[in-house]
Copies of this chain bind each other. A is one copy, B any other.
Amino acid sequence: MLTTRLCLLTIVAEGVLRDRLLGELRAVGASGFTAAEVQGEGSRQRRVSQFMGPNVKIEVVIGRDKADRLLEILSIDYFPQYAVIAYLSEVEVVRGEKYV
């Protein structure tokens, strides 16, 4: 199979940030995502009101440039204020043109 290398960006945040985060994804031109409810706990930087309730885990397959732009937005507008984590991994997709 002919595949293309892209990034999988995963964001875990308190549930109330869901729509705002999905808005950021759309704003950078991410062409698809999945979102699911998860339970989470950050043992050091936990804030009681945040990581006790349901969190949202958002996953999006995108190009590295858009992933970096999203990480930058998260670093500036989210990390200082909210219990948000984000990580990138490499994935291979078929029909890579759909995602960039």
Q: Which residues of A pack against B, CB within 8 Å?
A: 1, 3, 6, 8, 10, 12, 22, 26, 30-45, 55, 57, 61, 68, 71-72, 74-75, 79, 85-95, 98
Contacts and interface: CB of A to CB of B under 8 A. Distances in A.
A93 B98 contact: no
Contacts of A33: 40-41
Given A91-B88, A91-B89, A93-B86, A1 B34 contact: no
A35 B89 CA distance: 19
Task: Determine how many copies of this chain the complex contains.
Answer: 3
A87 B79 contact: no
A40 B44 contact: no
Nearest to A87: B91
